[in-house]
Amino acid sequence: MSASYPDKYLIGLTGNIAVGKSLVAQCLVDLGAAALDADRVAHQVILRGGPAFEDALEAFGAEIIGADGEIDRAALGKIVFADQAKLRRLEAITHPPIRERIHQLIREAERRVVVIEAIKLLEGELRQVVDAVWVVNAAPETRLKRLMNERGLPEDIARRRIASQNKQEDKLRQADVIIENDGDIAETRAQVRRHWGAIHHRGTESTEVSASK
C-alpha cells in the first residue's frame, strides 16, 4: 500500500497524448477503482476564481480569455505547445494547485484502489506517492491518427503536440505495467483485467471490487 496513504493502493496511469489513457482508466473504474483525472483538475484550477486563473492571465495575456470570460484552453494551447519555455511557465503556475487538489481527492476517495491519470506523472512528486506506474502505449502512427480523426486537429498541429512532450520511451522504461493500446477495445480490456487480477491477488481490492468479480 502507499506509504502516504496506507489505506489505499494508488495506480499512477500515464503515457503521452492519444495513447488511450482514459480508456484504460475507465476499464479500471469498471473493475472497481476510483479514478482521478489530472487534466480535468488542470481545467478546474484555471477557471475564473480558481487558484491559477489570475497567474495564467498575467503570464499569457488577455488573448487567452474567451467570450465567456473564462480561459480558452484551445487559445492557451496554441501558445504553450508552440514554445517549450511557455509550456514550462504554465506548468509552474498550474502544477502546485493541481497536486494539492489531487491529494485532497485521494483522501476523499471511498475505494481502496485509486487511479491517478496524469500525463506528467513521472516528472513530478506524484511518482513517489503511487504504488505502481501503469504506462499506456500506442504506436506514433496510431496516436497521430487519433489526434486528427477523433480530436479534429490538423496534421501539423497534431505532430507539434506529440513533439512537445517528453519521449514515450522514457515513460516505458519506468513502467511497472505496460498496456498496449493499438488493438481493439476488447484486447485492451483483457490486459487491464489481467493486471487487475494481480492487485486482487495481493489482497488490496475493496469489498466492493470483490463482489464484482
pLDDT tens readout for residues 49-98: 999 999 999 999 999 999 999 999 999 999 998 898 999 999 999 999 99
Regarding whether 202 and 139 lie in a shared domain, the answer is yes
Regarding whether 177 and 123 lie in a shared domain, the answer is yes
The CATH number linked to 175 is: 3.40.50.300
Regarding whether 120 and 102 lie in a shared domain, the answer is no
Regarding whether 178 and 74 lie in a shared domain, the answer is no
Answer whether 0.75 is exceeded by the pTM: yes
> Of 198, 200, 190, whose CA–CA distance to 32 is shortest?
200
- Residue 38 included in any domain: no
CA 34 to CA 115: how far, in whole Å? 6
Residue after which a domain boundary falls, among 110, 136, 160: 110
- For the stretch 157-173, pLDDT in tens is 999 889 888 899 999 99
Give the residue carrying C-alpha cell 498541429.
157
> Of 8, 3, 6, 11, whose CA–CA distance to 195 is shortest?
11
Q: How far is CA 150 from CA 8, 18, 20, 108, 145, in A?
A: 34, 9, 12, 33, 8
Instruction: Give me the domain span that covers residue 69.
Output: 43-110
